[in-house]
Amino acid sequence: MNIDDLIQISNLAILVPLFPMASFVVLTVLGLYRKSQIASSISILSIFSSFVVSLLLLISLLSQGSAEGNWTWISIASFTFDIGYTVDPISVLMSLLVTSVSLSVQIYSISYMSGDPRYGWYYAAHSIFASSMLALVLTNSLLFLYISWELVGLSSFLLIGFWYEKRSAAEAAKKAFITTRFGDVGLLIAIIMLYLETGTFHIQEIISNLGMIDGSKLTLIAFLLFLGAMGKSAQIPFHIWLPDAMEGPTPVSALIHAATMVAAGVFLVARLFEIFILQSSVLWFICLIGVSTSILAGFMALGHIDFKKILAYSTVSQLGLMFVALGAAGLGHHETHSSPAAGLFHLVTHGYFKALLFLIAGVALHSIHKSSATIYEVRGLRINAPITSIAMLIGALCLIGIPPFSGFFSKEMILAAPLEIGGVGGTLLFLAVLFSCFLSAIYMTRLVLVVLQGDPLGDQGQLSDPPFPMMLPIIILTGTSVVSGLVLVGPFNILGFISDGLSFHVDYILASLSIVIGVGGIIIGLICFNKTDKLSPDVVKYLRPLNVWVDSGFYFDKVTNWMIEKGTLGVANLVALFDRKIINDLFVDGIGMSPNFMGGFLRFTQTGYVAHYVTILAVSVTILFGIATLV
Amino acid sequence: MIELQILLVTAAAVFCIGLYGVMSRRNAVLVLMSIELMLNAVNINLVAFSRYVYSSNVVGEILVVFIITVAAAEVGLAMAIVLRLFRNWRTINLDAVSNMKN
């Protein structure tokens, strides 16, 4: 590495995760987290610097193309572990998303979290989260990716359990950490297998050496990698942690559980897309998991009345769609179309509008001084908080996919993906995705109708538009939600950006179908939920069985608990029994007891009477001599 | 040769009497005396073999002198122990002093 390389602009990439990390270290080691104002200023400054550097990286990428840098991290005998960054379309896109949403959320938190006794610590945790997430997207080494992946899990744990005095929050943090860990095991095994097969952690080298790995092993690796993605991105059956994670402060939900951390799974699949691309069985599995997650979570979003949980299930549902887009892109017949662009596109647009919706939920919750509330408790937002209401309407329209808002473009690309597969499977997948979009239109309409309409409850008079520091991020995110779709398909061609030679073209039939589905969902929502809190009795009776299933979250929690109780604890008890009876009693205690036992037996020969000893001596000597003479 | 057999039988008899004494007596002094009997039986054997079998040298007789000396020292030591026994327990019954058991 010489001087010329050092002044390369892309080398600034290492600064992107380093700024927030420095902020975390300064806040914790120097104890500055006790000083609220200083803590938030340092943290916001650091993430703003990261955002600026990310913009510089984008400029560098557009002018000079992809770049990467490598440094030796550890060198033991013949093993060397490198640490490095890669500046390519995916990483720059992700780092821009992460830094911009983080920045908005941190500015928003200034007044949202004000007065909290651990205000400074909140910013420290935000900083380490941002740092690890940025390292995750920018690194070029799977080893470092895994380290960041776990750090993301850790900081998510810290932030979900931020109000750890509340038992439910502590439980939710634990649940999130343990559930995602199941997937992480798969990811770790896959990374180790890739290292054993190719001898490197470097992502580009691994991808160029994929030919060295035989087919069945590669399928297993792809499957295990996807397992990791399922855990982080809350896909069935690992989705159970995400709704519970809403116990954290609302800005945390906006940042981590809508825009960034849950996107890590999608990012992982997109980053290692070449590994998945020829594994059609794994790709079908991805599609299947994605589409079933999407539909089930859509139903659950429709059934819940908790504001944040509706948004959480909606997030799960949209993440499912992203996986469908990724899986279907790999299955598509045209080699040229095998691009993770559609999934990533939806990741970006969804990141913005879902963060926006969460921040709006935060406005409503903040003004009634609660950390969670049902949608009926915050009714009448339109009267007291008109600007917030407009922002919410725009966020909802983005999610439903009404042009010209961003969700429309990304959903249109997701819908196009299954059609590329063709055949019966592709058609069924397409219809399922369409149904999921339809569901999202209905539940968003319900959410918006209930929250915006109606008269405010009597004692909720303080429901109002938030102060400026909270309003600014909402306005910014509304702006990005509106324009990100148009910009990314129009002047800034995301398809060509991620995969060279592709360009976005609107399929008018598909687009109108998507609009029809969205508008249809809105109309059905308007009919069902207009001016009423609940469905009409006839419809309720008709939907009763479905409702029972939805209320219980399709029994996923119950089944998981049952599996832990019967399966895990059963096996654990067996192992414990083996340990207690065989290892402890037989081997450890047994060895100690055997001299004891023999001694107890032999002590009966020690009568203490000299006469007995002499007799035994005489008799045995006589016998010995007798034997000796006979022989 | 007859004399050798008479001597050996006598020695065996004395040894058995001594052994019987050690096994059956409870009095420590009597047990000591019985041990002396056994030693003397050995001495008789040694002298007899020395006189009748290996008559060319006096190794047996010399060994006997050693045994008598050692036996005398041993009796002195043993009597001292018996005396301490009596001082402490007011008895020299060997069964009564078996308190190392248990």
Q: Where are the beta strands (DSSP E) in A318-471?
A: none
Is the separation of the CB atoms in B25 and B16 below 8 Å? no
Which residue of B31, B42, B98, B99 is the best one to mutate when testing the A interface, meaning the one whose CB has the most A CBs within 10 A? B98
- Residue A181 pLDDT more than 70? yes
Encode pLDDT of A350-377 as tens digits: 999 999 999 998 888 887 777 778 877 7
Q: Which residue has the higher pLDDT, A358 or A79?
A: A358
Q: Write down the number of H helices and E strands in chain A.
A: 28, 2
Q: Residue A213: its pLDDT value, please?
A: 85
Specify the residue for token string 């199941």.
A182
Categorize the per-residue pLDDT at A457 as very low, low, confident or very high, splitting at 50, 70 and 90.
Answer: low
* B101, part of any domain: no
Tokens of A213: 């790995």
Please answer yes or no on whether A611 and B98 come within 8 Å at the CB atom: no
Contacts of B100 in chain A (CB under 8 A): 608
Q: What is the DSSP letter of A247?
A: G
- In this complex, the residue of B24, B99, B101 whose CB is nearest that of residue A611 is B24
Averaged pLDDT of chain A: 85
The torsion angles phi and psi of A73, rounded to 5 degrees, stand at -100, -60
- Range A599-610 burial, b when 16+ CB lie within 10 A, else e: eeeeeeeeeeeb
The letter for the amino acid at A281 is S
Q: Is A622 part of the contact surface with chain B (CB cutoff 8 Å)?
A: no
Least confident interval from A151-165, A177-191, A333-347, A573-587 = A333-347
Categorize the per-residue pLDDT at B100 as very low, low, confident or very high, splitting at 50, 70 and 90.
Answer: low
DSSP 3-state of A73: strand
pTM for the structure as a whole: 0.77
Most confident of A33-42, A68-77, A115-124, B63-72: B63-72
Tell me the pairing of strands A67-76 and A79-87: antiparallel
CA pair distance B16, B18, nearest whole angstrom = 5
Q: Residue A67: its pLDDT value, please?
A: 83
Q: Is A29 part of the contact surface with chain B (CB cutoff 8 Å)?
A: no
The torsion angles phi and psi of A8, rounded to 5 degrees, stand at -60, 135
Which residue of A602, A614, A621, A622 is the best one to mutate when testing the B interface, meaning the one whose CB has the most B CBs within 10 A? A614
* B59, part of any domain: yes
* B52, part of any domain: yes
A535 CA to centre of own chain = 33
Categorize the per-residue pLDDT at A462 as very low, low, confident or very high, splitting at 50, 70 and 90.
Answer: low
Beta bridge partner(s), residue A83: A71
Encode pLDDT of A36-70 as tens digits: 788 889 999 999 999 999 998 888 888 888 888 88
Categorize the per-residue pLDDT at B73 as very low, low, confident or very high, splitting at 50, 70 and 90.
Answer: very high
- Residue A261 pLDDT more than 80? yes
Categorize the per-residue pLDDT at A314 as very low, low, confident or very high, splitting at 50, 70 and 90.
Answer: very high
Shortest alpha-carbon distance between residue B24 and chain A (Å) = 6
Q: Residue A77: its pLDDT value, please?
A: 76
Q: Residue A521: its pLDDT value, please?
A: 85
* B94, part of any domain: no
Q: Is A619 part of the contact surface with chain B (CB cutoff 8 Å)?
A: no
* B102, part of any domain: no
Q: Which residue has the higher pLDDT, A124 or A33?
A: A124
CA distances in angstroms from A191 to A107, A147, A224, A272, A280, listed in the order given: 37, 12, 9, 11, 20
Shortest alpha-carbon distance between residue A625 and chain B (Å) = 15
Three-class DSSP labels, A315-341: HHHHHHHHHHHHHHHHHCCCHHHCCCH
Q: Which residue has the higher pLDDT, A499 or A611?
A: A611
Q: ipTM, 2 decimals?
A: 0.77
Pick the closest to residue A307 from A377, A226, A254, A389 (CA basis): A377
Please answer yes or no on whether B26 and A611 come within 8 Å at the CB atom: yes
Show Cβ contacts of residue A541 under 8 Å, excluding neighbours closer than 6 positions.
Answer: none
The letter for the amino acid at A544 is R
Q: Which range of residues forms the domain containing residue B77?
A: 3-89
Q: Is the dihedral of CA A420, A421, A426, A427 positive or negative?
A: positive
DSSP 3-state of A511: helix
Q: Residue A116: its pLDDT value, please?
A: 85
CA distances in angstroms from A49 to A53, A56, A247, listed in the order given: 6, 11, 30
Tokens of A222: 């792809």
The letter for the amino acid at A253 is S
- In this complex, the residue of A607, A611, A615 whose CB is nearest that of residue B101 is A607
Cis previous bond, A404, omega within 30: yes
Contacts of B22 in chain A (CB under 8 A): 610-611, 614
Please answer yes or no on whether A615 and B94 come within 8 Å at the CB atom: no
Averaged pLDDT of chain B: 88
Direct distance between the N- and C-terminal alpha carbons of chain A, in angstroms, rounded to an integer: 90
Contacts of B19 in chain A (CB under 8 A): 614, 618
Q: Which residue has the higher pLDDT, A63 or B40?
A: B40
- Residue A586 pLDDT more than 60? yes
Is residue A519 within a helix (H) or strand (E), and if so which, with residue range? helix A508-529
* B96, part of any domain: no
Encode pLDDT of A394-439 as tens digits: 999 999 888 888 888 888 888 888 887 878 888 899 999 999 999 9
Beta bridge partner(s), residue A310: none
Encode pLDDT of A121-135 as tens digits: 999 999 999 999 999
Tokens of A318: 């949209």
Tokens of A532: 């009423």
- Residue A243 pLDDT more than 90? no
* B98, part of any domain: no
Specify the residue for token string 């040769």.
B1
Instruction: Give percent of chain A above pLDDT 70.
Output: 90
- Residue A232 pLDDT more than 60? yes
Q: What is the CATH number of the domain that holds B11?
A: 1.10.287.3510
Nearest-by-CA chain A residue for B26: A611
Q: Is A609 part of the contact surface with chain B (CB cutoff 8 Å)?
A: yes
Q: Residue A529: its pLDDT value, please?
A: 72
Specify the residue for token string 């399709």.
A554
Contacts of A607 in chain B (CB under 8 A): 98, 101
Categorize the per-residue pLDDT at A1 as very low, low, confident or very high, splitting at 50, 70 and 90.
Answer: very low
Q: Residue A369: its pLDDT value, please?
A: 75
Number of domains in chain B: 1
- In this complex, the residue of B23, B99, B100 whose CB is nearest that of residue A614 is B23
